[in-house]
Chains A and B, each alone.
Chain A
Amino acid sequence: MPDLLLDIKGLETQFKTPDGIVHAVNGVSFGLKEGETLGVVGESGCGKSVTMLSVLGLIPSPPGKVVAGEALYFGQDLLKMSKDEIRDVRGAQIGMVFQDPMTSLNPVLTVGRQLEEPLMLHVGMSKSQARERAADLLGLVGIPSPKDRLNDYPHQFSGGMRQRVMIAMALSCSPQILIADEPTTALDVTIQAQIMDLVKRLREELGMAIIWITHDLGVVAGLAHRVLVMYGGYIIEEAMVQELFANPSHPYTIGLMRSLPRVDEEKGRKLQPIEGTPPVLYDKPTSCPFAPRCKWAVERCWTENPVLDNISDGHRIACWVDVKTGRTR
């Protein structure tokens, strides 16, 4: 496919711990198209954050290590770049927003100083140009009287405001791609609605591609064009957003949707939880990682790990069983 902005192939990341090697990401492949918003869904420990951190060269090593795969950005492999090269990509061409805005801002520097830094470093602006652009950026993300707020420190901003600052920072060098790792999880719902509204507006104005990592299916439904569902370090389902919600096909995705209450749900519906707990990945799974919790598991699921395969155009799942018919593939 020619129009891929980012093309990840066979990514594998491991962490060495005192208890053994944790296989956090086990061969993940996906592409990101220009202007598209890709939602990545999964529970804690499913490898969704580690995947993105690996792509950006942000895995602390040791203990972490990207052991296989490539991440092509305009034909260049991000995983083979030197520290200096990847730093030029990060910030300038790929912006990032993390979950906790307080720990990702430097508490002893003013917000203005932190916004100016990437502009001077990556774009080569002068101090005064950068200052002006920084004020514009704060205005862009909806912070009132942006010029005055440049001199404030992060603690003088509220949680939602800090996340806006983080977004402004990620956007400062007009990146092609914005990677957002649970950016609204620490925020209240009304503030989350503000931030999602902002991101939708900016996406239209700036035309960037977004990778949005979350555990909240509601957020994905409102924001994403295409969705990856991850479990146990694998992508287990991939589809366009309407298709995924209309026709969830992997037992894990189906289970997730059934276990959710909805604000608009009918009365007296009993939640159907997924029994058991998510896997701890000390061994690279040789069978389906979801098999121990799966209602539909057949013998093959315990001996052979299913590969991601097309079930219809653009809809892929990693499962041996066709849940609708009960037949094995």
Chain B
Amino acid sequence: MASSENNILLKVEDLKMHFPIYKGLIRRQVGAVHAVDGISFDVMRGETLGLVGESGCGKSTTGRAILQLYKPTAGKIVFDGTNLVSLKSEDMRLMRRKMQMIFQDPYASLNPRMTVGEIVGEPLLVHNIASGREVDEQVAHLLEIVKLNPSFSTRYPHEFSGGQRQRIGIARSLALHPSFIVCDEPISALDVSIQAQVVNLLEELQEQFNLTYLFIAHDLSMVRHISNRIAVMYLGVIVELADRDTLYEKPLHPYSQALLSAVPIPDPFAESKHKRTILQGDVPSPVNPPSGCRFRTRCPIAESVCAESRPEFRELNPGHFVACHFADRFL
């Protein structure tokens, strides 16, 4: 993939997002949840970057911090040449037209008291893009784009199934013609037979409108299916980033290796021959993350150096970044 500078739509540099913990009568800060702790990556125009990891690894926080739904503790987020972190709120509001989000839970992310038409049309009104009958026309068009019947616009969210609600959420995110969409686990709340419908729709829309996706998920097989490149997160840091085939065929970080080997394959023959790396223990708390490499407490190949110094996020092969002292072994 050509990675010249003007091909980069979004550049995240050393992003940190710490949530303070207060305690006691005078609410003194006693610590912080290190949800995201210094990550850097680029998102190219028109690509889908998958962001995977287990619960609590900071993947959703990353997505929200990019859209400035949280004020990052440190770092830069450069979107189309503009650093979002230093923008005034009015300027940021204008930027939001270009960057939208699709949420995980289609039951919680739609206001139950608004009709579908109001939900999908709201961004148009808020941003003064259309009014009156124009809104209705655009809403009808948007519903058609996500393959819903335009006559649904007078109904309420509870009348729809999970998959249909997710389509409503997608229609809303498309209302302002964004170029970048953060998809935060958009299919994990849906039934298996419905997931493929929504994924296919996302793929079609990407082609039709030249969209760029940051696709956050924990379902590794679906991420592989939809992404061009994939970043693996663990406890607030990116441990590996590569294009999807390289990552799945030759993961270089011990965590990516374990994560990929843990995915059950829907094929009993492959399952019986499949050798699994089973990690010991649980993910440590992000309040007090381990020193040095975050993964060392569960890593099968950790040595003393891993506790002493944080491994650099380095490019071992062109386009293949790994944060591990011993990743060369797997080359």
Interface assignment of B161: CB less than 8 Å from any CB of chain A: yes
Chain A residues near B264 (CB-CB < 8 A) = 192-193, 196, 216, 218-219, 221-222
B276 touching A218 by the CB < 8 A rule? no
A278 touching B191 by the CB < 8 A rule? yes
Interface assignment of B268: CB less than 8 Å from any CB of chain A: yes
A160, A218, A246: which contacts B263 (Cβ < 8 A)? A218
B54 touching A189 by the CB < 8 A rule? yes
Q: A194-B278, A221-B271, A277-B161 are known contacts. Are A189 and B193 too (CB-CB below 8 A)?
A: no
B200, B258, B268: which contacts A273 (Cβ < 8 A)? B200
- Distance between B278 CB and nearest chain A CB, rounded to angstroms: 5
B-facing residues in A239-256 (Cβ within 8 Å): 241-242, 245-246, 255-256
Binds A, one of B218-226, B300-308, B317-325: B218-226
Number of A-B contacts (CB under 8 A): 129
- Distance between A49 CB and nearest chain B CB, rounded to angstroms: 14
A219, A242, A267, A272: which contacts B196 (Cβ < 8 A)? A272
Interface assignment of B266: CB less than 8 Å from any CB of chain A: yes
Interface assignment of B327: CB less than 8 Å from any CB of chain A: no
A190, A196, A260, A267: which contacts B54 (Cβ < 8 A)? A190
Interface assignment of A314: CB less than 8 Å from any CB of chain B: no
A188, A217, A272, A274: which contacts B218 (Cβ < 8 A)? A188
Interface assignment of A215: CB less than 8 Å from any CB of chain B: yes
A218, A241, A259, A270: which contacts B195 (Cβ < 8 A)? A259
B193 touching A273 by the CB < 8 A rule? yes
A193, A246, A265, A273: which contacts B224 (Cβ < 8 A)? A265
Chain A residues near B192 (CB-CB < 8 A) = 43, 215, 217, 256, 259-260
Chain A residues near B283 (CB-CB < 8 A) = 188
Chain A residues near B245 (CB-CB < 8 A) = 267
Interface assignment of B33: CB less than 8 Å from any CB of chain A: no
B268 touching A189 by the CB < 8 A rule? no
Chain B: interface size category: 35 or more
Interface assignment of B151: CB less than 8 Å from any CB of chain A: no
Closest chain B residue to A216, Cβ basis: B264
A192, A221, A260: which contacts B262 (Cβ < 8 A)? A192
B163, B221, B261, B279: which contacts A277 (Cβ < 8 A)? B163
A-facing residues in B240-264 (Cβ within 8 Å): 245, 248, 258-264
B266 touching A262 by the CB < 8 A rule? yes
Chain B residues near A217 (CB-CB < 8 A) = 192, 266
A191 touching B282 by the CB < 8 A rule? yes
A188, A189, A221, A277: which contacts B266 (Cβ < 8 A)? A221
Chain A residues near B199 (CB-CB < 8 A) = 261, 271
Interface assignment of B267: CB less than 8 Å from any CB of chain A: yes
B282 touching A271 by the CB < 8 A rule? no
Give the docked Cα–Cα distance between A95 and B118 (Å): 50
A-facing residues in B193-238 (Cβ within 8 Å): 193-197, 199-200, 218, 220-222, 224-225
Interface assignment of B55: CB less than 8 Å from any CB of chain A: yes
Q: A161-B282, A263-B263 are known contacts. Are A278 and B221 too (CB-CB below 8 A)?
A: no
A-facing residues in B149-178 (Cβ within 8 Å): 161, 163-164
Give the docked Cα–Cα distance between A222 and B274 (Å): 9
B200 touching A271 by the CB < 8 A rule? yes
A189 touching B224 by the CB < 8 A rule? no
Give the docked Cα–Cα distance between A263 and B271 (Å): 12
Give the docked Cα–Cα distance between A44 and B195 (Å): 13
Interface assignment of B270: CB less than 8 Å from any CB of chain A: yes
Interface assignment of A275: CB less than 8 Å from any CB of chain B: yes
- Distance between A226 CB and nearest chain B CB, rounded to angstroms: 11
Interface assignment of B330: CB less than 8 Å from any CB of chain A: no
A193 touching B262 by the CB < 8 A rule? yes
Give the docked Cα–Cα distance between A216 and B266 (Å): 8
Q: Mark A190-202, 1 if CB is under 8 A from B, else 0.
A: 1111101100000
Give the docked Cα–Cα distance between A221 and B265 (Å): 7
Chain A residues near B263 (CB-CB < 8 A) = 189, 218, 263
Give the docked Cα–Cα distance between A245 and B267 (Å): 6
Closest chain B residue to A198, Cβ basis: B278
Chain B residues near A219 (CB-CB < 8 A) = 264
Q: Which of A190, A192, A270 has the most B CB atoms < 10 Å from its CB?
A: A190
- Distance between A132 CB and nearest chain B CB, rounded to angstroms: 26
A221 touching B278 by the CB < 8 A rule? no
Rank and list the top 10 A-B pairs by shortest CB-CB distance, nearest first: A218-B264, A273-B196, A261-B225, A259-B196, A188-B54, A193-B262, A217-B266, A271-B196, A273-B197, A274-B193
Known A194-B278, A217-B192, A257-B266; 11 more pairs at CB < 8 Å? A44-B191, A190-B262, A193-B276, A215-B192, A245-B266, A260-B221, A262-B265, A271-B196, A271-B225, A273-B200, A277-B163
The contact sample of 20 A-B pairs, CB cut-off 8 A, is A161-B282, A189-B218, A189-B263, A190-B54, A193-B279, A215-B192, A218-B265, A221-B266, A221-B270, A221-B271, A241-B268, A257-B266, A259-B193, A259-B195, A262-B266, A265-B225, A271-B199, A274-B197, A277-B164, A277-B194
Which residues of A are in contact with B by a Cβ distance under 8 Å?
Answer: 43-44, 158, 160-161, 188-194, 196-197, 215-222, 241-242, 245-246, 255-257, 259-265, 267, 269-275, 277-278
